[in-house]
Amino acid sequence: MEEEDLGDDFSYNSVAIQSSEKHERVIIHIDIDCFYAQVEMIQNPSLCGKPLGIKQKNIVVTCNYEARALGVEKLMSIKTALEKCPSLVLANGEDLKKYRDMSEKIYQILQSFSPFVEKLGLDENFIDISHKINKSPEIKPEVSGHIFEEKNSGETCACGCTDRLKEGSIIAQEMRNQLKSELGITSCAGIACNKLLAKLIGATHKPNQQTTLFSASSLNLMKSLKHPRNIPGIGSAMNRKLEVLGIDTIEKLQAADLFKLVEALGAKTANQIQQLSFGIDNSRVKITDRPKSIGAEDGFPTIKSETEVRKKLKCLLDRVWELVEKDGRRPSQVKLTVRKLHATNHSVREARQTAIDLTTGFPSNAPLGPLSENQEKKVITTLMNLFEKVVNCDESWQVTLLGISFSGFPSGIESPAKNSINKYFTCSSRPNETLPPPTKRGRFDESVLQELPDDIRQEVLEDMKCQMPSSSTSQQSADFDCPKGVDPQVFRELPVEIQKELLAGEKNKKPIATKKPNNLLQYFRKV
**Residue, CB closest to ligand DGT:** 62
Of residues 118, 123, 167, 327, which one binds Mg ion by CB under 5 A? Answer: 123
- The DSSP letter of residue 1 is -
Stretch touching ligand DGT by CB under 6 A, among 33-41, 164-172, 377-385, 460-468? 33-41
Q: Which does 463 bind (CB under 5 to 8 A by kind): Mg ion, ligand DGT, none?
A: none
Q: Is 31 in the site for ligand DGT (CB under 6 A)?
A: yes
User: By the 8 A CB rule, do 295 and 320 touch?
Assistant: yes
36 makes contact with ligand DGT (CB under 6 A): yes
Q: Specify the residue, 98 or 312, whose C-beta has the smaller distance to ligand DGT.
A: 98
The three-point CA angle 524-17-234 to 5° equals 35
Q: Residue 59's CB: how many other CB atoms inside 10 A?
A: 16
If the CB atoms of residues 118 and 123 are measured against Mg ion, the closer one turns out to be 123
Residue 263 designated active-site: no
Identify the bridge partners of residue 466 per DSSP, sorted by sequence position.
Answer: none
> 443: number of CA atoms within 13 Å, CB side?
13
Number of CB atoms found within 10 A of residue 66's CB: 20
How far is the C-alpha of 95 from the C-alpha of 79, rounded, in Å?
Answer: 21
User: Does 35 interact with ligand DGT (rule: CB under 6 A)?
Assistant: yes
Of 40, 66, 118, 124, which residue is the catalytic one?
124
Closest to Mg ion by CB, 32 or 175: 32
Distance CA 308, CA 325 (A): 26
What lies within 8 Å, CB to CB, of 186 at 6+ separation is 32, 33, 38, 176, 179, 180, 207, 208
CA distance 73 to 54: 11
Q: Does 75 bind ligand DGT (CB under 6 A)?
A: yes
Q: How far is the CB of 194 from Mg ion (least distance, A)?
A: 20
Task: Examine residue 33 and tell whether it contacts ligand DGT (CB under 6 A).
Answer: yes
Q: How far is the CB of 57 from ligand DGT (least distance, A)?
A: 9
Count interface residues toward ligand DGT (CB under 6 A): 14
Q: Least separation, in Å, of the C-beta of 34 and ligand DGT?
A: 4
Do 216 and 210 meet the contact criterion of CB atoms below 8 Å apart?
no
**40, 118, 123, 128: residue in contact with ligand DGT (rule CB under 6 A):** 123
Confirm if 107 and 69 have CB atoms less than 8 A apart: no
- The option from ligand DGT, Mg ion, none interacting with 62 (CB < 5 to 8 A, set by class) reads ligand DGT
For ligand DGT, which stretch binds (CB under 6 A), given 32-40, 218-226, 311-319, 433-441? Answer: 32-40
Euclidean distance between CA atoms 399 and 394, whole angstroms? 15
Q: Give the shortest CB-10-to-ligand DGT separation in angstroms.
A: 33
**CB-wise, 31 or 128, nearer to Mg ion?**
31
CB of 173 to Mg ion, least distance (A): 18
Task: Determine if 32 is a binding residue for ligand DGT (CB under 6 A).
Answer: yes
Distance CA 252, CA 256 (A): 6
- Note whether 118 binds ligand DGT by CB under 6 A: no
Contacts with Mg ion in 35-94 (CB under 5 A)?
35
Nearest approach, Cβ of residue 121 and Mg ion (Å): 8
* Spacing of C-alpha 523 from chain mean position: 10
State which of positions 49-68 bind ligand DGT (CB under 6 A): 56, 61-62
Query: Beta 187-192 vs 27-32: how paired, if at all?
Result: antiparallel
End-to-end CA separation in angstroms for the chain: 41
Closer residue to Mg ion (CB): 106 or 341: 106
The nearest distance, CB 41 to ligand DGT, in angstroms, is 12
Q: Which of 71, 141, 207, 410 binds ligand DGT (CB under 6 A)?
A: 207
Residue 135 or 526: the one with the smaller Cβ distance to ligand DGT is 526
Q: Is the peptide bond before 331 cis (omega within 30 degrees of 0)?
A: no
Strands of the 399-407 sheet, one edge to the other = 294-303, 399-407, 333-341, 347-355
Q: Tell me the C-alpha distance between 204 and 523, whole Å.
A: 19
CB-based contact 285:26 (threshold 8 Å) = no
User: Are 54 and 61 within 8 A, CB to CB?
Assistant: yes
Q: How far apart are CA 465 and CA 411, in angstroms?
A: 12
**CA–CA gap between residue 509 and residue 502 (Å, rounded):** 10
- Name the minimum Å distance from CB 197 to ligand DGT: 18
Of Mg ion, ligand DGT, none, which one does residue 207 interact with (CB within 5 to 8 Å by kind)? ligand DGT
Q: In this chain, which of 27, 34, 147, 221 binds ligand DGT, going by CB under 6 A?
A: 34
**Catalytic residue ranges:** 124
**What does the binding site for Mg ion look like in residue numbers (CB under 5 A)?**
31-32, 35, 123
**What does the binding site for ligand DGT look like in residue numbers (CB under 6 A)?**
31-36, 56, 61-62, 75, 122-123, 206-207
